[in-house]
Structure 1
Amino acid sequence: MLPPRLLRRVYLPIMLIALLLLGGVAVSVVHEGLMAGRAEAWMVLWVLAFVLGLPALLLVLPGLNALVDLARSRDNIPYTGGKIP
């Protein structure tokens, strides 16, 4: 239902907010990890990437793709086998 120009205006802020939240957590962990030592920081960042980053992507991206599909759906074209009024 949303035109592509408006869709870009909705998609971009949602992705920016998600990346800002993940970036803030990553900066905090890097800062704390560098205080402890280089090797420990490297291990903590790998754990952070899999524990926080992967589930966040698995939750955020399907939701955004659903919004894109909803915005691009056409309600005036019936599904296969549907009768046109």
Structure 2
Amino acid sequence: MSLLLKFRDRDTPFGVTRETLQALSEKLGVNETMTIHYALSKLAHDVLPGYEMDDGPLTPEDRASIASAAEAQMPKGKLRSKKSLF
């Protein structure tokens, strides 16, 4: 699959000149195609979410269900000691 890339006349936040691409490629020690892939990979990491969106905040029913399930897992009996950081 191919993609046509049109270079800008000057560097801007939304594009670069061919000379800038060549300088980046030389600095990175890779060809121009790899430099473009590297730049797009960094942009994707910065812009796209790293996880799938969830269903939003928990409802009171969800919280009650979680509290009930957690209660069943909590230890029973007398408190032996308690420490505090404050």
Same fold (TM over 0.5): no
Q: Which has the larger radius of gyration?
A: 2
Normalization by structure 1: what TM-score?
0.32
Structure showing greater relative contact order (alpha-carbon pairs closer than 8 Å, 6 or more residues apart): 1
Q: Of Structure 1 and Structure 2, which has the larger fraction of its residues in helix? A: 1
